Amino acid sequence: MVAERVETGCPVAYLTGRKEFAGLSDEMTTAAKRFALAGISLYQFECSMALDNRGATWLQMDEGTRNPYLGSSMLGCGEVINVLPGIEEKGDSDE
């Protein structure tokens, strides 16, 4: 059985997963803004071409673009739109 495909040539399951990932990504961004990670900054990226040109965002731990929406041919498509700084780790002090 051949998976149903849409105009982009992607199986429908991939597109559904990407839409669900976009919702999860939005929730994770909200959480990351509220609860900063100790010692880890997060980079929020946006790709305006994702999800049929509606655009979508995602978080990464580094600045190298790895777009989860457009597949390997467009892995570098996107730009950093926000940096969510981590909080400084408190060291144990015996002083």
pLDDT digits 0-9 by tens, 37-57:
888 999 999 999 999 899 999
Q: Beta strand 56-60 with 79-84: parallel, antiparallel or unpaired?
A: unpaired
The conformational region for residue 16 under phi > 0 = left, psi -120 to 50 = alpha, else beta, is alpha
Q: What is the DSSP string of 62-92?
A: SSS---SSS-GGGTT--EEEEEEPPBPPPPP
pLDDT digits 0-9 by tens, 8-40:
455 444 556 778 889 889 999 999 999 888 889
pLDDT digits 0-9 by tens, 69-93:
988 889 999 999 999 998 887 765 5
The domain limits of the chain are 40-86
pLDDT score for 73: 83
